[in-house]
Each structure stands twice: as C-alpha cells, then as structure tokens.
Amino acid sequence: MPRSYPLDHIRNIGIIAHIDAGKTTVTERVLYYTGKTYKIGEVHDGTTVMDWMEQERQRGITITAAATTCYWKEHRVNIIDTPGHVDFTAEVERSLRVLDGGVVVFDAVAGVEAQSETVWRQADKYGVPRICFINKMDRVGADLFRCLSMIEERLHSRPFLVQLPLGNEDSFYGIIDILENKAWAFDGNINSIPKEIDIPEAEREKAIRFRQALIEKLAEEDDHIMSAYLEGVNIDGDDITTALRKITLANKGIPVLCGSALRNKGVRLLLDAVVDYLPSPLDMPPVMAVRVKTDEKVTRAASDEVPFAALAFKVVADPFVGRLVYLRVYSGRVKAGAQIFNSTRGKKERIGRLMLMHANRYEEVSEADTGAIVAAMGLKETFTGDTLSEATQQVVLESIRFPEPVLSVAIEPKTKTDRDKMGDALQKLAEEDPTFRVTYNEETGQTVISGMGELHVEVIISRLLGEYKVLAKVGNPRVAYKETITSSAKAEGRFIRQSGGRGQYGHVCIEMEPLGRGGGFQFVDKTKGGILSKPFIQATENGIKEAMETGGSAGYQVVDVQVCLYDGSYHEVDSSELAFKMAGSLAFKKGFDRAHPIILEPIMKLEIITPGQFLGDVVGDVSSRRGHIDLIETRGETSTIRCKIPLAETFGYTTILRSLTQGRATHSMEFYQYRELPMELAKDFRDKAIGRK
C-alpha cells in the first residue's frame, strides 16, 4: 500500500514548557488552523480538546500527554501536548523519547522558569532538535530580549532570532520576518488571515541590523553562508532557511519566534517554522537496537522496507474502547490484525485495531508505517518501554527510564467490594503511569501508593474515587525517605532449620560497600570453584533485594549499595533456594547495621516569584524550613528566589506562601536529589522505628 505522505513530509513534534506558558493554547490554535477542529477550546473555560480528562478541565492544567495528528502545507504533523507541572514529568520524558522535534513555549514575561530548564534537559538527553516560541507578547512586562538572554545563560543554548515583534505589551500587533524582510499584521480575529505589510519606517533600521546579526551568526556555522557573506553576495531567505535548518537539526542552535497564541497572533508562522526547521524521521540518525539472542548492536533505518520495530511509550485504560498502547513506529510497517513479537518480554502479541488518536477520540486505520504515532488495541502483555518487532527479527530498542517516587500515602478500602475494585483500579493506573507505585505494607496491612509530589498523588486519589468509584479512606502524605550505608562491612548469614524430615540449610558470606548517589543496587558474585550453584547464588541475590525493599534499621528502603558474595556452603540434602534466600536476607541485615547506615531525604529545587515587598518574609520562612538559598534575582518590583529545600518541609506550602504574600507570590518545585538527613532528626526516626518494633 503506497504511503499517503512521504517520510520527509512527516513531523513528529512535542509542545513542551513550564506550567502556564501556554502550551495547550498554542496546540488548540494549531488544531483550528490545520482544520482538525472547527471550534477553539480555551483552558480557562475547560473546553480544550487536548485537556480532555475531567481532572484537567477542573484544574486548568495538563496532566497526561495527549496525541493528535494534523496536516499543514502537504505535511503530516503528529503532535503530543505535554504537561508543564513537574509532578507529571514522566509524561514529558516518554514523549521526548519517541519524538523527533520539539516546540518549546516560553512566557514572554517570566522567560525561562524552573520547569523550562527541566524539559530542556530532557530534550538534550534525547538529542531532540527544537524551536522556541516566545508566547504572551501582549502581556504587561513582556520582554523578548530578556527571554533570549535567559535562554543563553540558563539553558546554555544558542538562540537565532528570526522574528521581531511589532509593538509591545497591549500594543503588540504584528511580526517582522527577518529572513524575508517583510512584516505581518494581525487583528486578533481567529479567522483573519495575517496581512502582509511593509516594515514600518521606524523599524527598518532595527530589522536590517538584526538580519545582519543573524547572517553573521549563521556564517560561523555554515560554509555556504560564510563564503556568500565574504564575497558580498546577496543572501536570500531560502539560503538562510536552509542554513538554519542544518544548524537546528545538528542541535547547534535554536530558531526563536514570537507571538500571542491567546490573541491568535503568530501561530500560523509557527506552523511554517515546524515544517521548515524541525526534522522528519529521515533527518534523524537510524535508531539503535540490540538483537535479542546475540546482544549484537544493530540499527533500524527509517524505511518501510526494513523489518518492523516500534516502541510502546504509553498505556491508557480507555473506558470506551479498552486498553490502548501508544506506539512509535521506527522502521517497517504493521497492519491491523498482524501477529508481532514483544522482544522485551519474549511474548507473541496480536494487534487488534490501529488508531490515529485525537486526544480521547480516534480515527481507525488499517496500517501504520514508519514514522507513525498510533494507538493499538489487543496488546495484553505490552507495557511502557517495551519493544515490538517481527518474530524473525527480534530486537530491543532503548527503553525509557523514569524517576523514583518521593511521596507516599496509605489508602484503605471501606468495604470488601471496594477492596476488589481498588485493586483493579490501582493496577490500571500503575500501567498508565510508570512513576506511580503501589506497595503493600506487611507491618500495618495497608496499601501504600507513591507518586512524584502532592499534586500527582492528589490527582491519582481523585481519579480512584471519582473515575473508578472506589470508596476509601486516605491517610496523610508521607515522604519517601531512603537508607544507605557509609562504610564497608562483612557479614555471614546462616539459615538452619531441622524439623524431623528434610531440613533447611543455607550459608553465605557477603561484603557490602557504599555506591555513589543514584548508584542503585549492584550484586557481584566472587565465589570460586563452584562452591555454590547458580540457583543458590540467584536466590541469595533475591533475598538481599527483598531485605533492601523491606528496609534498614529505620524501616526505609535501602539504596546505593554494592554487595559481593565471596563464600558460602551448602548441604547435599537440606539446601534449597528458599534457605539461601533467607541466608542472604539475614546476612544483609547484619552487615547493614555494621556499615554505619544513614537516612536520606528528598531535596527539592524551589523557585519562588514574589513582589519585592514580601522578599524578607519569604526568605525568612524558607530558611526556617531548612532551605538553602542559591540565588535572589530582582527585576523591577518582582524578586525571584531559587533555593533547595527538604520535601518534608513543603507540605501545604502553597497556602503558607499565599498568606505571607497576600496571595501575590507563585512557586514551582521539582525533585533535585537525595541527601543525608541531619543527625538529630535521623536519631528521632530511628528511635521511633525501635519503638514500633
């Protein structure tokens, strides 16, 4: 079946930004201008297409990444609108993993904000080429050039300004196209076509100056522009576009545009820039993969003619059509009804139906080819990060890594019926969201749910009670503390039981030592001469892992430890895998107490924007919460405070900040790292743990 759109006419892009920069508003205009919708939805009215969940419409924020497909100037544009709140950073992570390009939206007043830096780093990690859209140019305090300097200083990137604003703040009415030496005027009407006008006399010298500066910056990176510049040859808009596209694809620079999405100014020109500067699947390097049986590294080129390979990046439990798995097809093509292979889990799967998604609506298709982003029905054993391929050409693509949850809440169903409903609902929610964890606390008999922050956990509970109709009692949020060790220690574990018949015998000797922060867990087998069989070694490792999950002396999960198994013994009759699992667990607990354990607490990066008159009160409050001030930046009557603060000190902070500043300050927060809990607090934690035992 021939392709409806050539590969070089496909753009897979994400709209990414800090919360409230205007991502969803930009996307709604894009959908309207491309003919995908006939009516514009507004975030403040709760009528947007992309924010379709009830929770999103109530709160006026994006919670889950929504995908859609639209068409512009004979190009197919697959768009993912991502959340801006740090608690839902996993949605951005998995979206950027499968996208080829990104549109980064900035608020013209706030510039580069805390979450702007986070999404930028995520895009850097996956090498995603980007263009920037400075939104809200009509707001009081809008400053395009401040945003440019912040992109250079905070994001360490090289902006290439391709547009200048006509007017500013409430008098913003148009855009100068530096490349083509012309201007566009907008009247703010959604149905009005931008009107081409001459560059106003007062702005001509400025436009010439900025065009010259752009050419000089391009000449540093592009030989064709350099030679034309040195020879004094006229450089037209097409030459600049070609050079800027190369620089963008190589991640050596970022084209910067401006406008006001809410006032319908500049979005059509943004769509043109998506087509002009962002990559098609053909422009991206061939995706790396590993053959399942040989571990040989191979590549999969973006072509319909090579073996099929796709990555599952999102799972959704749709109430109407059932379980949907979102796929990015990297190579080959697949038809609805085809049998494929889940290379990650070693299982055969059959695709029931294939759909092009439009937020929570869909259009059924018979086939998905290279470069497509589709949702598949019928995949029962496929989860986020799994690779799907042909059974005869099994490969595994790089998976997606997600951050660990930092906040927990205990939840109890009210009746037996609710217990069954809750188990089913929690399983579906955990499949959808890889940063949401469900555990069962043996000590208290409670189900504990964990997430990335207060808002994340609050949304999960709201969905559980509202969407899934589960009646449950919810506890107070608790910080996800962890434990680790600070020195090496050796320990011996013996598990011996005699019960008349066959007994139990397991004996291991281990040495443990600390790893750096984020090191996780490493198990090293240093036994020699086959003194223990492989099943017993594996059982020992499993016992150690279980002991780490159960917690150290204070009852928290143990992390960042390497354990070496160097000796042990077994009994011909009485030894079993269970005995060695118990021996491993006993040895770890003994060694942990000798290795000078410490408690780790999650530290958050906090950014507060407050009127200057309240600066002293806010700084004093942060300091009283064990916060460390990194930077205070004052601009006009507003001050920005950037600091690090323990998560435990931030519960209910929104309310406290409002009361300190008469409701005029705003803040954003993201996870930074785990650090050692101060000694006096750690002692209290251990005393309480001993009391519980």
Mean predicted confidence (pLDDT) in 378-398: 88
pLDDT of residue 511: 95
Q: What is the pLDDT of residues 486-543, one digit of tens each?
A: 999 999 999 988 766 678 899 999 999 999 888 889 999 999 888 899 999 999 999 9
pLDDT of residue 50: 46
CB 319 within 8 A of CB 360: no
Maximum Cα interatomic distance, the chain, rounded to a whole number of Å: 102
Distance between CA 615 and CA 661 in Å, rounded? Answer: 9
Q: Place 597 in a pLDDT band, splitting at 50, 70 and 90.
A: very high
CB 91 within 8 A of CB 64: yes
CB 263 within 8 A of CB 138: yes
Distance between CA 371 and CA 440 in Å, rounded? Answer: 41
Mean predicted confidence (pLDDT) in 605-621: 90
Distance between CA 550 and CA 542 in Å, rounded? Answer: 12
CA nearest neighbour of 225 among 212, 245, 239: 239
Compute CA 41 distance to the chain's CA centroid, rounded to the nearest angstrom.
25
Mean predicted confidence (pLDDT) in 116-139: 90
* The pLDDT of residue 475 is above 90: no
* The pLDDT of residue 387 is above 60: yes
pLDDT of residue 693: 52
Q: What is the pLDDT of residues 214-244, one digit of tens each?
A: 999 999 988 888 888 888 888 888 889 999 9
Q: Are strands 159-161 and 287-291 parallel, antiparallel or unpaired?
A: unpaired
Distance between CA 562 and CA 588 in Å, rounded? Answer: 11
CA nearest neighbour of 49 among 64, 31, 63: 31
CA nearest neighbour of 560 among 660, 675, 447, 435: 675
> What phi and psi values does residue 53 have, to the nearest 5 degrees?
-65, 150
pLDDT of residue 489: 94
Q: Give me 272's structure tokens.
A: 């043109």
HEC string of 630-654 equals EEEEEECCEEEEEEEEEHHHCCCHH
Q: Give me 304's structure tokens.
A: 């319909």
* The pLDDT of residue 680 is above 70: yes
Mean predicted confidence (pLDDT) in 55-71: 62
Q: What is the pLDDT of residues 544-575, one digit of tens each?
A: 999 998 888 788 889 999 999 999 998 888 88
Percent of the chain with pLDDT over 90: 36
Rounded to 5°, the CA angle 46-49-54 comes to 50
pLDDT of residue 391: 87
Distance between CA 403 and CA 584 in Å, rounded? Answer: 28
Amino acid letter, residue 674:
Y
Mean predicted confidence (pLDDT) in 650-679: 85
* The pLDDT of residue 677 is above 60: yes
* The pLDDT of residue 52 is above 80: no
Q: Place 90 in a pLDDT band, splitting at 50, 70 and 90.
A: confident
Mean predicted confidence (pLDDT) in 646-672: 84
* The pLDDT of residue 120 is above 80: yes
Q: Place 360 in a pLDDT band, splitting at 50, 70 and 90.
A: low
pLDDT of residue 27: 85
Mean predicted confidence (pLDDT) in 416-439: 85
pLDDT of residue 499: 67
* The pLDDT of residue 134 is above 90: yes
pLDDT of residue 64: 58
The owner of tokens 């409701």 is: 663
Q: Place 56 in a pLDDT band, splitting at 50, 70 and 90.
A: very low
Strand-pairing partners, residue 91, are: none
* The pLDDT of residue 47 is above 60: no
Q: What is the pLDDT of residues 168-190, one digit of tens each?
A: 888 999 999 999 889 999 987 88
Strand-pairing partners, residue 267, are: none
Task: Classify residue 632 as exposed, middle or buried by CB count within 10 Å of its CB (0-12, 13-18, 19+).
Answer: middle
Rounded to 5°, the CA angle 593-541-448 comes to 70
pTM of the model: 0.75
pLDDT of residue 163: 94
Give 205's contacts (C-beta < 8 A, 6+ positions apart).
none
End-to-end CA distance of the chain: 67
Could you tell me which residue, 347 or 663, shows the higher pLDDT?
Answer: 347
21-30 burial, b at 16+ Cβ within 10 Å, e below that, comes to bbbbbbbbbb
Q: Place 444 in a pLDDT band, splitting at 50, 70 and 90.
A: low
pLDDT of residue 39: 53
CB 552 within 8 A of CB 461: no
Q: Give me 215's structure tokens.
A: 């050419």
Q: Place 275 in a pLDDT band, splitting at 50, 70 and 90.
A: very high
